[in-house]
Amino acid sequence: RDQNLPKEDPVQFTFLAKFYPEDVAEELVQDVTQHLFFLQVKQAILSMDIYCPPEASVLLASYAVQAKYGDYDEQTYTPGMLASEDLLPQRVIDQYQMTSEMWEERIKVWYADHRGMSRDEAEMEYLKITQDLDMYGVNYFPIANKKDSELWLGVTALGLNIYEKENQLTPKISFPWSEIRNISFDDKKFTIKPVDKAAPNFVFLSHKLRMNKLILELCIGNHDLFMRRRRPDPMDLQQMRTQAKEEKLR
């Protein structure tokens, strides 16, 4: 089917996970899956799609360096070797009056502390920190309430969040998947029906039809995964986990 791809050769594609795991240590079974997801999340941190505080940003940078270069070696380490690396969000760099050498020194202190950590272990530590950040795994969509006040809808692995226009970190209202009975949309109007039939429905407006289909798709997919995670693993997934653990022990 014609996808209106550019005619240049070669065509570059970007691989992105559509659904975020709830627990990276439990759900990212295979090393290649973990590595690709690590690259995606790292880019989201650096591009500031996910807000990360300064101290955590430095720690994440040190794990990224460990994953790329292996153990810190005082004999071979060259001052300035990290200066060309894209390691910190620009927001963090702009926040402090520090030279690139000063930032490198901060990162190096943590980096030296990770001795003995393999690439996979460093990437997993990176992901464990990021999954606790407020904006991790949140797909944001501009919406409006019935009074036409501008808000954000956040679709996540755990449920739906409603945010004030100026604050994407702290939800104003949250609807866990376990408490949602039904989500439907009619043209531009979405309705969230709680499991508790005595509770009122929550109605919001989203004015772009294509975006509305994506919102519903993400809601259905995340809700399905939420329910599946709470059931026993199927046999093929159990076997995959066992095989992955055996390979790591070799």
Specify the pLDDT at position 191.
95
Does residue 243 sit in helix, strand or coil? helix
Specify the pLDDT at position 208.
86
What is the C-alpha end-to-end distance of the chain, expressed in Å?
A: 44
How far is Cα 110 from Cα 121, in angstroms, rounded to an integer?
Answer: 15
Specify the pLDDT at position 122.
98
Domains of the chain and CATH, by start: 24-130 (1.20.80.10), 139-229 (2.30.29.30)
Q: What are the distances in angstroms from CA 58 to CA 1, 79, 133, 160?
A: 45, 17, 14, 30
Tell me which residue of 134, 41, 33 sits closest to 89, measured CA to CA: 41
Q: pTM for the whole thing?
A: 0.89
How far is Cα 157 from Cα 137, in angstroms, rounded to an integer?
Answer: 7
pLDDT tens for the 250 residues of the chain, in order: 556 666 777 888 888 999 999 999 999 989 999 999 999 999 999 999 999 999 999 999 999 999 999 999 999 998 898 988 899 999 999 999 999 999 999 999 999 999 999 999 999 999 999 999 999 999 999 999 989 899 999 999 999 999 999 999 999 999 999 999 999 988 899 999 999 999 999 999 998 888 999 999 999 999 999 999 998 878 887 787 778 777 776 7
Dihedral class, residue 159 (left if φ above 0, else alpha if ψ from -120 to 50, else beta): left
Identify whether 176 is preceded by a cis peptide bond (ω within 30 of 0): no
Specify the pLDDT at position 45.
98
With the C-alpha atoms ordered 81, 83, 84, 89, is the resulting torsion angle positive or negative?
A: positive
